[in-house]
A and B are shown apart, each in its own frame.
Chain A
Amino acid sequence: MKQLLLLLFAFDSMAAQYFYDLDETAELKINVDAENASLVSGALIGPETDCTLHQPPVGTTPQTMSYEAFSGNPFGDSTSSSFSFAIPINKYATFPVTTPLTLYLRKNSFEQPTANYTPASYTVSLSKCPGDFNVSSPDVGRGRCVVGGQYAGGSTAPVLRWTTKDNPSPTDLVVKCILEKNTLYYLNIIHSTVPPYTDSVCTDASGCGVLFTELIDN
Chain B
Amino acid sequence: MKLLTLIFLLTPMSSQALWTFNVINDGSPVLYSDLLFPISYTHSTCQFQAAVINNGSADDVIIINTAGCTSNNHFIVIDGYRYPLSDTVEVNFYSDLHLFTETSNLNNCTSASGIIPTDPPRILLNGLSIEFKADSDALVFTDGNNLYFKYDSINGDIVCDNGVEFIDPREIIFLGGFE
Contacts of B64 in A (CB 8 A): 19-22, 46, 96, 184
Q: Are A6 and B36 in contact (CB under 8 A)?
A: yes
Contacts of B93 in A (CB 8 A): 30, 37
Contacts of B124 in A (CB 8 A): none
Contacts of B54 in A (CB 8 A): 16
Q: Does A62 contact B (CB under 8 A)?
A: yes
Smallest beta-carbon distance A127→chain B, Å: 15
Residue of chain A at shortest CB distance from B45: A64
Task: Given A32-B134, A39-B63, decide whether A9 and B19 contact each other with a Cβ distance below 8 A.
Answer: no
Q: Does B75 contact A (CB under 8 A)?
A: no
Smallest beta-carbon distance B17→chain A, Å: 6
Q: Are A12 and B67 in contact (CB under 8 A)?
A: no
What sequence of 0s and 1s flags, for each residue 1-31 of chain A, a beta carbon within 8 Å of any chain B beta carbon?
A: 1111111111111011111111110111111
What sequence of 0s and 1s flags, for each residue 47-71 of chain B, a beta carbon within 8 Å of any chain A beta carbon?
A: 1101101101111111111111110
Q: Are A38 and B66 in contact (CB under 8 A)?
A: no
Q: Does A36 contact B (CB under 8 A)?
A: yes
Contacts of B141 in A (CB 8 A): 22, 26-28
Q: Does B175 contact A (CB under 8 A)?
A: no
5 A-B interface contacts by CB (under 8 A): A6-B58, A15-B60, A24-B143, A26-B142, A66-B46
